[in-house]
Structure 1
Amino acid sequence: MTLALFLVTLLCIALALGAGMSLAWLAWRRTKNSGWVDTVWTFSVGIVGLAGALLPPTGADAIGSRRAMVAAFACLWALRLGLHIARRTRGITDDPRYARLLQGWGADAPRQMFVLLQKQALVSIPLGLAMVLAAANPQPALGPQDWLAVVVMAVAIAGEATADAQLRRFAADNRGPDNPGRKVCEVGLWRWSRHPNYFFEWLGWLAYPLLAIGAWQWGWLALAAPVCMYWLLAYVSGVPPLEEHMLATRGDAYRAYQRRTSTFFPLPPGMKPRVTSWD
């Protein structure tokens, strides 16, 4: 891959993600429910990955192996996560993370929201690039590293789906004024981490560097995807606003949960977690 082709690839990814987040903005404007933003984002990134698998910039021809893996990863990830978020969004009036921002923006909310979503598209470029680079790896034969990527992605999708299902069942069992139940979910994977769904989401992005890194120098750039996803989840749009929301709505029950449960990386129940800025 030449530098010129790499820059063209980056531009195509950026334009595709920008268009996707413009659709997310339109969905929010029409429904007034910002939960649809993450649904559209998920499918947008998945489409970029699928396109990168079918039309890699280097013309790699191993459609039956590595490119097929990337296509399968992109489709499985986007369908599972996108449909999960869509299902959750249908049951709410707004996403509390975005709702707080929208309230603060006041009459300028439409413009501010559009800018925010285009920023999300910008920071998502490393994710799309990693998928494209994985599919474009010119190394013809699959090796142990490629099969390890399959294991990593399988564990990530299964783990995130399990965490989401456990939280959904907990919410259903503790809903309503006649059955207030427990305030904080501490069942299954949620005893090991306060955000196991975020952990497994991050884990899945490690699969693409495993597919991309090989006999060419461009593959190492795929490492930007798990680094970017960890930064977003742990420090920007994932853990901090959700922890703030949970403290506001769950109070001391959530503070006690913070003291005994790891923030991001799963640790055995009762093991003292690392102190962080949001603990």
Structure 2
Amino acid sequence: MPPLATTAGLGLLIAVAIALPTWAASVPLRDASLADRVWSAFIAVPACFYAWRLGADPRLVVMTALIGAWALRLGVYVTARNWGHGEDRRYRAIRDRSQPGFALKSLWLVFLLQAVLAWIVSLPVLAASGGGAWTGWDTLGASIAAGGLAVETLADAQLARFRRSPSSGDRVMDRGLWRYSRHPNYFGETCLWWGIAVMGLAGGGWARAWCLASPVLMTILLLRVSGVTLLEKDIGGRRPAYRDYIARTSAFIPWPPKRDTPR
């Protein structure tokens, strides 16, 4: 089996190789949010490379199948959602803060940074290599990951349907899974990566507990960096109805709303 450190280094190079042409395309388009469209590829392509290089056993096949399904769904969803809308306002804010010279600065502030973060998220597949027979821990991890993927898929589908409705207007989406969590898609995503990490530990044991950096990082990103905190930073001012939604609805973990109303 090739050394893990060498394989990990090649995985990082693959992520960087995806980042560079995406950055080059973003400069003339003035759209750094292209990074969002390839975020899932940053993770999935190195993960599949690990499985190919190290020899895919049933555990790695299931892990890469789950990650591949996640990556394909998310990449298509984000691309379709953002198509024709220009640069996302979060990236416009970064652009405004980073002038002059954002076109060059975005290479490391956005694209290379995300490539490195995504590479860390891909590490459980590397950790699981050579782990022997399938165990009950694999079943648990795969179940958590598949459940998380189902939750985020359903949540995104519900939100997309709501946004297409002519009557949505300035209303807040508080139906379906969004009745119980303000960010059920992020909750599902977090569950997916914790499930993948459980499988990584099942294959690699506690000697490879470094793979837990993957779900810890993803949880921090979704809760404190690019997810819940950033999205809700000023939304109460822009959409007053959202303040009431915040008051009655769990931010992350699905939970019955504080003030139940008939639906």
Confirm or deny a common fold (TM above 0.5). Answer: yes
Root-mean-square deviation (Å): 2.2
How far apart, CA to CA, are the structure 2 residues paired with 1:186 and 1:227?
A: 28
Who is 2:215 aligned against? Answer: 226
What's 2:78 paired with?
Answer: 85
How far is the alpha carbon of 1:246 from its aligned partner?
2.5
Between the aligned partners of 1:151 and 1:91, the Cα distance in structure 2 is 36
5+ residue gaps, structure 2: none
1:11 deviation in Å? 2.0
State how far apart, in whole Å, the 1-side matches of 2:21 and 2:191 are.
28
Letter aligned with residue 13 of structure 2: L
Q: Report percent identity of matched pairs.
A: 31
Matched residue, 1:253: 241
Q: Distance in 2 between matches of 1:224 and 1:211?
A: 14
Distance in 2, Cα, partners of 1:153 & 1:217: 20
| Aligned residue pairs, count | 258
Structure 2 CA distance for aligned equivalents of residues 13 and 7 of structure 1: 10
Cα distance in structure 2, aligned partners of 1:111 and 1:260: 43
The amino acid across from 1:36 in the alignment is L
Answer yes or no: is 1:120 the counterpart of 2:114: yes
Secondary structure class of the residue paired with 2:233: helix
Counterpart of 1:42 (choices 40, 43, 47) is 40
Q: Which runs of 5+ in 1 are unaligned?
A: 273-279
Which moves more between the two structures, 101-110 or 230-239?
101-110
Please tell me whether the aligned partners of residues 25 and 114 of structure 1 are also in contact (alpha carbons under 8 angstroms): yes
- Compare 36-45 and 103-112 and name the one that shifted more: 103-112
2:7 to 2, 6, 9: 9
Q: Which of residues 76, 91, 96 in structure 2 aligns to 1:103? A: 96
Match of residue 192 from structure 2? 204
The question of 1:173 aligning with 2:165 is answered yes
AA partner of residue 204 (structure 1): L
Q: Is the 8 A contact 1:24 1:41 kept in 2?
A: no
Q: Does residue 242 in structure 1 map to residue 231 in structure 2?
A: yes
- Give CA-to-partner distance per residue, 1:145-169, whole Å, 9 cap, x none: 1112221121111111111011111
The CA distance in 2 between the partners of 1:183 and 1:78, in whole Å, is 30
Name the aligned partner's letter for residue 189 of structure 1: L
- 1:183–1:271 distance in 2 versus 1, CA, 3 Å: closer
State the Cα distance separating 1:119 from its structure 2 match.
Answer: 1.9
Shift of 1:248: 4.3
Quick one: distance in 2 between partners of 1:270 and 1:13? 45
Structure-1 separation of matches of 2:131 and 2:4: 18
Deviation at 1:218, TM superposition (A): 3.7
- Which range moved further: 110-119 or 227-236? 110-119
CA offset digits 1:23-53 (Å, max 9, x no partner): 3312322433333211112112111111111
> In the alignment, is the contact (CA less than 8 A) between 1:13 and 1:129 conserved in 2?
no
Task: State how far apart, in whole Å, the 1-side matches of 2:242 and 2:133 are.
Answer: 50
Q: SS state of the match for residue 74, structure 1?
A: helix
Matched, 1:24 2:13: no
Among 177, 183, 192, the alignment partner of 2:171 is 183
Deviations 1:36-94 (A, max 9, x none): 211112112111111111112xxxx5x35112112212211110111111111214222
Corresponding letter in the other structure for 1:38: D
TM-score by length of 1: 0.84
